Amino acid sequence: MDFSNFNGAEQAHMTKVLEKKQMQDFMKLYSGLMERCFMTCVNDFTSKSLTGNEITCVQNCTDKFLKHSERVGARFSEYNAEQMQQAGP
């Protein structure tokens, strides 16, 4: 995204839009992660409480998903920077 041809008011507006979108994204990432780890790790419904194995699995699943998402984000940024440079001045 290139906002350089935006005036001050337009940049301020887009910053607000971006902030709202980032909050929504974070919530969606959170609930998506939770659903995914629940579906993968929890398979025993003979009791109401999580087993020790399920707890470990959910914690690892969460850690791994966040690291995965961070790594993909890094590659995504590099790619966008490259694209910007090729389009550049």
Partner 1 sequence: IRLDRDGANIDPAKMEIATAELDMITDVFNRLVTSCHAKCIAPGNSTRYAEGELLKGEAVCIDRCTAKFFAVNKLVSERMQTMGGTAQVTGSFGR
* Binding region for partner 1 (CB under 8 A): 1, 3, 6-10, 12-14, 17-18, 20-43, 45-50, 54-77, 79-80
The whole-angstrom separation of Cα 56 and Cα 41 is 9
Pick from 58, 26, 65: which is nearest to 39 by CA?
58
Pick from 59, 70, 57: which is nearest to 29 by CA?
70
Shortest distance in whole angstroms from residue 82 CB to partner 1:
10
Shortest distance in whole angstroms from residue 34 CB to partner 1:
5
Shortest distance in whole angstroms from residue 89 CB to partner 1:
20
